[in-house]
Structure 1
Amino acid sequence: MKKLLATSFMFFVIGGPSSINALAQKTMPKLPMDRVYQGPIVLPDFKGRDKEFSYYRTRIREEMKTGPNFAGHYAIVVIGCGTACRFAFMGDVANGQVYHFPYGGEENYGMDLRFNVKSNEVAVRWVSENNCLQDHLVWNDYQFNNQGVLRLGDRDFCEAI
């Protein structure tokens, strides 16, 4: 039984389908998200615990009301801040807590996020100083851990995707 579990786990970690590159597949611990939260949506407490996010409360609430879109019970909320400028927050739809997202704003021009409800990974791509950069983040239920920024090519590479 242990051998079967180990083999299944290795298939999932190394050989299973993924939107990330081979290097990241070998270094990122993945959490299987076999269940998606189906309970009542809990919205943030913008007068208490989540007060620092209250300026964006309408956008955060609206996205969280649609249900989880990341890691089983979280909603990633992407907000525009100008031409190709984006930043993000993440809210737990099960308890309403809002978290900062580690990338965004003018420092991460043209930020593009790739994520899904059944994975705890986020691929982040952006332009900085005419370079197309990418990082893979892993959410561990407390914080995002980055796997290292990679240069993918010139600015045009990001804009072509």
Structure 2
Amino acid sequence: MRLASYLFLFALLVSTADAAAAEQASRGATPDWPPAPAASPGWDAPRFEKYPAKPSPEGSRAMPRFNGSNWTPETKARIRKAVKSGYNFAGHYTIVEVGCGTECKSAWVVDGRSGAIRAFPLGGEGTTSLKLVYNVKSRLIKAARLNSEKVLCTQQDFDWDGKDFNNIVGMDHTDKGIFFRCDVLDSGVSMEWPSDEAKISPGDELSFETFPARVFQNGPVKLPQFNGRDRGAREYRTRITDKMKSGANFAGHYTIIEIGCGTGYLCVYFADTNSGKVWDFPLGGMEYSNLELKYSLDSRLIKARWIDGLNGDQADCAESAAEWDGRNFVSFGKTHRAVADETYCSFDPPQNE
């Protein structure tokens, strides 16, 4: 009987000590409720290098095939001109962007092998301030546009499989950190992906020395045949001839001719000083306000900047770069960024006072 009493007393003492120790421990411990919020995973923006394209094929390009009867003569002309300028998307395709009214843009992809044309899934009436970013080395294309209420910017990324644009991700947002910036300013959209195109983005400092000219002018300048082969440039024959007589200024044996054709607009041609042949330059005219070009006699690289629209008090500066391969301009893609005004889109922005 006495032993049972001792055992009961011992158990009571132990349980009391355990309870006191537990209480002491609980007072000194950090409460584990509510649990610490889990870190929000960063948005893994699709990157251009994760969707590589096959290199563009050798040989001649197929002419665009305009199936159906809904094509306007102006749109056909724009597409034909763009295709002649070379591939700018997914290896052997050309993205062609055409304005269709105030804040309206349509886009098509043209297959350089077959000539087939496929409409980009966004654009046209009902799509406001569409912006596209793409390059020739990737199947990925990034798009941004304003929603119908002009409140949020909708961003979508697509993977082109040769037949269809497959939506990778799409969301409404105004900011996605270092991977994506989409500023909605009044009725415009500005985009840039500063880290996605690290090796091939026109926003990077592509070096002119990396693309040296291979062939230089090999004698007197040969002038164009404005009554024959080059009659399409006849309207500006005097300006073109005078500029060519000064010699080559681009890629060894070519002359870039910049001609003012309206307030804030340039009409641009380039000609071969060895053969006299003249081409329309891919950029220029009323869709490229404040166009500026940067090029060199010793390099095949050319850079361009222009105003692609106004976002309230800010300008939407578009940038692009391309390499001349002797037959076509191979584009490194296009980016957009917001700037304080048109002057800050220049290659020589105003200096601080």
**What TM-score, normalized by structure 2, do the two folds share?**
0.37
User: Corresponding residue for 1:8?
Assistant: none
- Whether 2:322 is the aligned partner of 1:145: answer no
**Can you give the 5+ residue segments of structure 2 that lack an aligned partner in the other structure?**
1-201, 311-315
Question: Which among 44, 48, 55 is matched to residue 235 of structure 2?
Answer: 55
**Cα distance in structure 1, aligned partners of 2:294 and 2:285:** 17
Question: Residue 111 of structure 1 contacts residue 125 of structure 1 at CA under 8 Å; is this kept in 2?
Answer: yes
Q: Aligned-pair distance for 1:89?
A: 0.3
Q: Aligned-pair distance for 1:143?
A: 1.1
User: Corresponding residue for 2:289?
Assistant: 109
Q: Aligned-pair distance for 1:36?
A: 3.3
Q: What residue identity is the alignment partner of 1:90?
A: F
Question: Residue 35 of structure 1 contacts residue 118 of structure 1 at CA under 8 Å; is this kept in 2?
Answer: no
**Cα distance in structure 2, aligned partners of 1:152 and 1:39:** 43
Q: 1:99 to 1:155 in 2, by over 3 A?
A: farther
Q: Which secondary structure does the structure 1 equivalent of 2:238 belong to?
A: helix
**Cα distance in structure 2, aligned partners of 1:77 and 1:149:** 23
What pairs with 1:1-161 in structure 2 (closer than 5 Å)? 21-22=203-204, 24=206, 30-33=210-213, 36-130=216-310, 131-154=316-339, 156=341, 157-158=344-345, 161=349
* Count of aligned positions: 140
Q: 1:23 to 1:117 in 2, by over 3 A?
A: closer
The one-character-per-residue Cα deviations of 1:85-123 (angstroms, maximum 9, x if unpaired) are 112000000110001100011100000000000001110
Could you tell me the percent identity over the aligned residues?
A: 34
Q: Aligned-pair distance for 1:22?
A: 3.5
Question: Residue 203 of structure 2 contacts residue 319 of structure 2 at CA under 8 Å; is this kept in 1?
Answer: no
Higher helix share: 1
Q: What residue identity is the alignment partner of 1:128?
A: D
The one-character-per-residue Cα deviations of 1:25-56 (angstroms, maximum 9, x if unpaired) are 6xx9x542266324111000001110111111
Question: Which has the larger Rg?
Answer: 2
**Cα distance in structure 1, aligned partners of 2:330 and 2:220:** 28
Q: Which secondary structure does the structure 2 equivalent of 1:147 belong to?
A: strand
> Which portions of structure 1, spanning 4 or more consecutive aligned residues, are displaced by more than 4 angstroms?
none
Q: Which secondary structure does the structure 2 equivalent of 1:124 belong to?
A: strand
**Cα distance in structure 2, aligned partners of 1:22 and 1:110:** 21
Question: Residue 249 of structure 2 contacts residue 297 of structure 2 at CA under 8 Å; is this kept in 1?
Answer: yes
Q: What residue identity is the alignment partner of 1:111?
A: L
Q: 1:63 to 1:48 in 2, by over 3 A?
A: same
Q: Which secondary structure does the structure 2 equivalent of 1:112 belong to?
A: strand
RMSD: 2.3
**Cα distance in structure 2, aligned partners of 1:23 and 1:76:** 22
Q: 1:123 to 1:155 in 2, by over 3 A?
A: farther
Question: Residue 214 of structure 2 contacts residue 251 of structure 2 at CA under 8 Å; is this kept in 1?
Answer: no
**Cα distance in structure 2, aligned partners of 1:33 and 1:124:** 19
Question: Residue 115 of structure 1 contacts residue 123 of structure 1 at CA under 8 Å; is this kept in 2?
Answer: yes
